């Protein structure tokens, strides 16, 4: 009964190891870029909260509030409540990294204002992903263990549920890249950071973008692994 898991183990490593290594590398890059540029004060010395406020107001988004939220790099924009929440290091910090992250989050608010299509799809998918990311694999494994036609149907249902999670990580890519592009464009044209400082902003934001690429590759390779397990299992119908 456990045969598919053993047979698939080597396959899983083959599929997932490159994505896993890319993910770890990307996370190390974010950490080192953030550590470096969160220690360098921007020449204007604005806090992340001030940078976000300026970028929002410059685009007419006076209704979007900027608040502080606990956690490390827990920064996010809430499209439902129209609130931009920044972690203490970003909210209070006046570094190049703070400016970059704050402007990136404000970039998400701008996407919301412009009804940016990938953001709309992403928001629409959130509820199904919250369920599918954990329920999908559980249903899939139960289906695989049952080893009967009902089990096969269950396994496919689990696979499709988890597929929504993989799709979500792909839809996230244009959303994140676009928010960073909006941040870079505004930071350089508004003169909030100097051209020299833009190098640091780019390093922080590009490293963060790479973590999303790694997450998408991980989700897709996991999905493919599930599909191989299901298609390659012995049939006992
Ligand atoms: Zn983002």
Active site residues: 105
Comparing C-alpha atoms, which of 176, 179, 71, 170 is closest to residue 129? 170
Output the pLDDT for position 16: 79
List, in sequence order, every residue forming a beta bridge with 65; answer none if it has no partner. Answer: 83
Is residue 86 a contact partner of residue 68, using CB atoms and an 8 Å limit?
Answer: yes
Give 198 Cα–ligand 1 centroid separation in angstroms.
18
Q: What residues in the chain have per-residue pLDDT under 50?
A: 1-3, 237
Output the pLDDT for position 237: 47
Give 176 Cα–ligand 1 centroid separation in angstroms.
5
Give 161 Cα–ligand 1 centroid separation in angstroms.
24
Output the pLDDT for position 1: 42
pTM of the model: 0.88
């Amino acid at each position: 009964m456990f045969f598919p898991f053993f047979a698939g183990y080597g396959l899983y490593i083959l599929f997932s190891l490159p994505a896993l290594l890319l993910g770890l590398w990307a996370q190390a890059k974010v950490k080192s870029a953030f550590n470096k540029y969160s220690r360098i004060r921007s020449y204007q010395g604005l806090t992340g909260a001030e940078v976000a406020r300026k970028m929002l107001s410059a685009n007419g988004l006076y209704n979007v509030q900027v608040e502080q939220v606990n956690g490390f790099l827990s920064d996010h924009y809430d499209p439902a409540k129209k609130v931009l929440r920044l972690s203490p290091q970003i909210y209070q910090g006046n570094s190049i990294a703070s400016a970059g992250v704050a402007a990136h989050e404000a970039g998400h608010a701008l996407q919301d204002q412009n009804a940016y299509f990938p953001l709309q799809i992403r928001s629409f998918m959130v509820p199904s992903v919250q369920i599918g990311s954990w329920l999908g694999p559980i249903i899939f494994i139960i289906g695989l263990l049952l080893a009967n036609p009902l089990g096969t149907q269950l396994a496919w249902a689990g696979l499709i549920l988890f597929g929504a999670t993989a799709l979500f990580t792909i839809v996230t890519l244009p959303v994140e890249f676009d928010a960073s592009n909006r941040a870079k464009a505004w930071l350089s044209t508004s003169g909030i950071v100097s051209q020299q400082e833009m190098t640091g902003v780019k390093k922080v934001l590009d490293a963060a973008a790479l973590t999303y690429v790694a997450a998408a590759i991980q989700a897709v390779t996991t999905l493919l692994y599930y599909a191989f397990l299901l298609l390659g299992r012995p049939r006992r119908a």
